[in-house]
Amino acid sequence: MKRLLERFNQHGLFIKMFLVMVISIVTVSVIITFSTIRMSERLFMETFSITNSKVINHIKTSFESFSYSIVKASNNIQQSGKIKSFLTDKDTNSMSMMKAYYSMDQQMSYIHSNVDAYELNIVVAGINGRMYSSNYAYWPVSAVDLRKYPITDQKKLTYHYLGSSENNQAPMIVASKALVERSTGNIYGSFYIGIREKDFKQFYSNYTSYGNDVVVLDRSGVVVSSNKQDLLGQEAIELLHYAKEIEESDMAYIDADVMGKNHIVLAEYLPSLDMYLVNLINKEIVMHQLINKKAIVLISTVIVVAALLIVFLISRRLTRSLRKLVNQISNMAKYDFDKYVSVNGSYETRQLAQAFNFMLDELHNYVDELIQTQKKQRNAELEALQQQINPHFLYNTLTSVKIMVKQGNQEKAAETINALISLLQNAIGNISETITVEQELSNLKNYVFINHVRYGERIKVNYFISPDCLSYQLPKLIIQPFIENAFFHAFNHKAGGYIHILVAIEGDRLICEVVDNGDGMEMKANKLPNFKNKRKLFSGIGVRNVHERIKLLYGEQYGVKISSEIGVGTKVKIQLPLLKEENITSI
């Protein structure tokens, strides 16, 4: 998992670029494909609605021609005296009846000749019980039942639907009207002009197809004709509602759900028949026939895959040189600025590599100058501190010598002067930044001797120096400040005590410790105590100066650590690198 994560990080730029391009290309392709399909559907709906509107108008014209023929036949029947006589006269004898039927047949043949273009069946019935039919075998109801239908007494020409009967006769659309005496207004008979539904649908059947259906509704919402046989005689209130809405709102079409499927609904009112002509276009079926969505999606997918392949190759080529440059930079060891990166790849990568190498050159120059400046500054600071020997230390030491001379203790006075001379010579006269442990030990002993002469020997000092440490180098005046602090700040409450000075090798480090059993002090976690308000009796070099000097000289892993406990004492631990005299020139 870790290795996989590292590999991902190495190719992070390429992966991010490729993912962004993938998302962008796929998003654009989906949007374009969806927009294309939607625009195609909208264009289809507009075009199809216009085309079908023209078709509906053509069908409407055919129905109006049919209705005109029915009206003409109706007027002829109403105006015929022979037909009136046939329907009103009573039977006298067989001869007169035969003549009446013959005359009726002649008259109806003439009337029927006006509607020969249509497969019509005409039935005339009178109040005298007589009935004439051009072909009653087609009718789905008997003559007796026909007389009982509500359509019999209608004084206005109306159209009705007669469904299939038990004798399996086909359903019919029937135009009927009562025959009325003009002078009295009395009804003397009725006529019925019927057309079988299968013949009625010939007006529009040529314009229907799979998914493109026609439905004819009467005023009550009953389907009187349709190319979908299962709808005949059914109530389609929903379709009637859409048809009325289109008529009232003067809309071209309605996009609606009909019978659980999405349809485009076009409708036209047929005033001559008092019916609605409805055109149903199944969007799913027709769209599938006209718009191949699978082909569009397949083409879009092929284009996307090809585009992604091209983007993959281009992105990989563009990021390869940059990735190599990043790997070279990231594989450099920390603080190892001597390795230059190779200049190759694309123009941008070469420019970055050249800029990075130029930056390394500038960094080398800056680091060299900084090291020289810090070295000069460090030497100047040390030299300044070495000159800050406290005058009171000299005054008090010389006063002590003077008193010893007056008391006649010339030998001890001479030892004190020798110790002072040696101490001043090493502190001020020695220009070297480092000295050996042996020299530092000699300085410490001289400093301790002078303090014992001045203040007495209530504080004992013990030296525990490992013999193999004497030749190692350490910075001047690195231990003295802690001895001074121990002498003058550790035994303010206790009458006396001891100070142990220990120097030994621990691993690859030189360890110097100053341990006392004095008063102790409170310590803050990971912080050195602040002695800046304490007087320095010998030099201006304090505890914090020592710690900062060590870190500046040798690095953050070295320095001073102090631990203390009130009433128990204080322990100072100084950690330094193991340095011989031949190594000093490299510092």
Would you give the DSSP letter of residue 235?
Answer: B
pLDDT reported for residue 80: 86
pLDDT reported for residue 334: 53
Give the helix ranges, DSSP H, for 387-479. Answer: 391-406, 410-424, 437-455
d(CA 531, CA 548): 14
**Block residue for tokens 């005359």:** 103
- For the chain, give the longest Cα–Cα distance: 195
d(CA 86, CA 104): 7
d(CA 299, CA 560): 75
Instruction: Output the CA torsion sign for 332, 336, 342, 347.
Output: positive
| Domain 387-586: assigned CATH number | 3.30.565.10
Structure tokens at 275: 């019916």
Residue 121's nearest CA partner among 135, 131, 111 is 135
What phi and psi values does residue 202 have, to the nearest 5 degrees?
A: -65, -20
Structure tokens at 18: 């490729």
d(CA 395, CA 587): 37
Task: Output Rg (C-alpha) for the chain, integer angstroms.
Answer: 61
pLDDT reported for residue 587: 44
Would you give the DSSP letter of residue 538?
Answer: S
pLDDT reported for residue 275: 92
Report in angstroms the alpha-carbon separations of 465 from 147, 504, 580.
Answer: 143, 6, 17
Instruction: Output the CA torsion sign for 32, 33, 35, 39.
Output: positive
Per domain, the residue ranges of the chain are: 80-200, 387-586
**pLDDT truncated to tens, each residue of the chain (587 aa)?**
666 665 655 566 667 777 787 888 888 888 887 777 777 777 776 776 677 788 888 888 988 998 898 898 888 888 888 888 888 888 767 787 888 888 888 888 888 887 888 888 888 888 888 888 876 666 766 666 666 666 566 778 888 888 765 556 678 888 888 888 888 888 888 888 888 888 888 888 888 888 889 999 998 899 999 998 888 888 999 999 999 998 888 888 888 888 888 888 889 999 988 899 999 888 777 766 666 667 777 888 888 888 888 877 777 776 777 777 766 676 665 556 667 777 776 666 777 777 877 787 887 788 778 777 766 666 655 555 544 556 667 777 888 888 888 888 888 888 888 888 887 877 666 656 788 999 989 988 988 888 888 888 889 999 999 999 999 999 887 888 888 888 888 888 888 899 999 999 998 999 999 999 988 888 775 566 655 444 444 444 567 778 887 887 888 889 899 998 888 899 999 999 998 865 554 44
Instruction: Output the CA torsion sign for 390, 394, 399, 400.
Output: positive
For the CA atoms of 322, 328, 331, 333, the dihedral, rounded to the nearest 10 degrees, stands at -130
Beta bridge partners of 560: 574
Beta bridge partners of 407: none
Report in angstroms the alpha-carbon separations of 45 from 42, 359, 400.
Answer: 5, 68, 120
Q: Which residue type is seen at 72? A: K
Q: Which CATH class is domain 80-200?
A: alpha beta
Quick check: helix, strand or coil at residue 300?
helix
**Block residue for tokens 């802690």:** 482
Residues 6+ apart with CB under 8 A from 10: 323, 326, 327
